[in-house]
Amino acid sequence: MIKRVAALAAGLSLLVAGCGDTGDGDTAGKGSGSTLTVFAAASLTESFTALGKTFETSHQGVKVRFNFGGSSTLAQQIRQGAPADVFAAASPATMKQVSATSQVFTRNRLVIAVPPGNPGKVARLSDLSDRKLKVVLCAEQVPCGAAATRALGAAGVKVEPASQEQDVKAVLTKVQLGEADAGLVYRTDAKAAAGRVTGIEFPESAQAINEYPIVALPTAPRPAPAKEFVQLVLSAQGQAALSRAGFESAGAN
């Protein structure tokens, strides 16, 4: 029995490992059909998935595959040779590791996320300095944490966070489950989790607007559709999809 359990566990782990690499490595070198591979920041999941469908409809025979994840992880994968055609990052700093010719296509700002009912009675950014509140932020190493530090710094608010989370979704989870009384997340994340968290806008967020750059990678296995996908994102149609998700227009570009 033990042996069987162990064999089962080993089998399962192989299965998991096997599934894991279909995400980014599968399109490598196979060259069958026409598949466009887009690496995009996790916060773009909803809007880019919709745009991918639009793109497939207007480009018969082209399939769009997404690899959504933390921007820095994606940048690392691209630098290690992952076969990406398009890269959309949540911060220019991360984009710089990959390309110098990117274009800003949208902006995102922070909001305060509180659990339903707002048990900590948070109304403004300065409320987060209350030591009795459990506040979670992103770690400074990730874009949302850097933005939070900028916003709090600009407002002169000192926060002692209960935790510095690895990404914005982790902050959202803690708030959603009521473990944290408040957290700083992107407006798009609060919007996607509407009903499970409440987003509170604050004026100081203007000091920490996150710019999202996009690029058709020079090493793209499929350069033509890659450029067309970037054009779609920059087009009025693309911008409308982004604004539905809670993004702001990138302004003159």
Partner 1 sequence: MLSTGPARVKPAPDRVPGRPPWILVVPALLGLAFLVLPLAGLLVRAPWSTLLTRLGEPQVMEALRLSLITATLATGLCLVLGVPLAWLLARVPFPGARLVRALVTVPLVLPPVVGGVALLLVLGRRGLVGSWLYGTFGISLPFTTAGVVLAETFVAMPFLVISVEGALRAADLRYEEAAATLGATRWTTFRRVTLPLVAPGIAAGAILCWARALGEFGATITFAGNFPGRTQTMPLAVYLALETDPEAAIVLSLVLLVVSVLVLAALRDRWVGSS
Q: Is 197 in the site for partner 1 (CB under 8 A)?
A: no
Q: Which is nearer to partner 1, 35 or 173 (CB)?
A: 173
Amino acid, res. 173: T
Residue showing tokens 């499970």 = 196
Those residues whose C-beta lies under 8 Å from the C-beta of residue 65, and which sit 6 or more positions away, are: 27, 35, 36, 37, 38
- Total residues contacting partner 1 (rule CB under 8 A)? 28
Mask of contacts with partner 1, 131-150, x by CB under 8 A? Answer: ---x-x--x-xx--------
Three-class SS state of 113:
strand
Q: Is 22 in the site for partner 1 (CB under 8 A)?
A: no
Q: Which is nearer to partner 1, 152 or 230 (CB)?
A: 152
CB of 86 to partner 1, least distance (A): 22
**Measured torsion, CA atoms of residues 215, 17, 141, 70, in degrees rounded to the nearest 10:** 30
Amino acid, res. 140: E
Q: Which is nearer to partner 1, 70 or 213 (CB)?
A: 70
Structure tokens that stand for 45 in this block? 């999941």
Q: Is 9 in the site for partner 1 (CB under 8 A)?
A: yes
Q: What is the rounded distance in angstroms from the CA atom of residue 46 to the CA atom of residue 147?
A: 22
Q: Is 120 in the site for partner 1 (CB under 8 A)?
A: no
Choose, by CB under 8 A, the member of 86, 88, 174, 214 that binds partner 1.
174
Choose, by CB under 8 A, the member of 1, 17, 19, 252 that binds partner 1.
1
Q: Is 165 in the site for partner 1 (CB under 8 A)?
A: yes
Q: What is the rounded distance in angstroms from the CA atom of residue 185 to the CA atom of residue 171?
A: 7
Residue showing tokens 């296509």 = 105
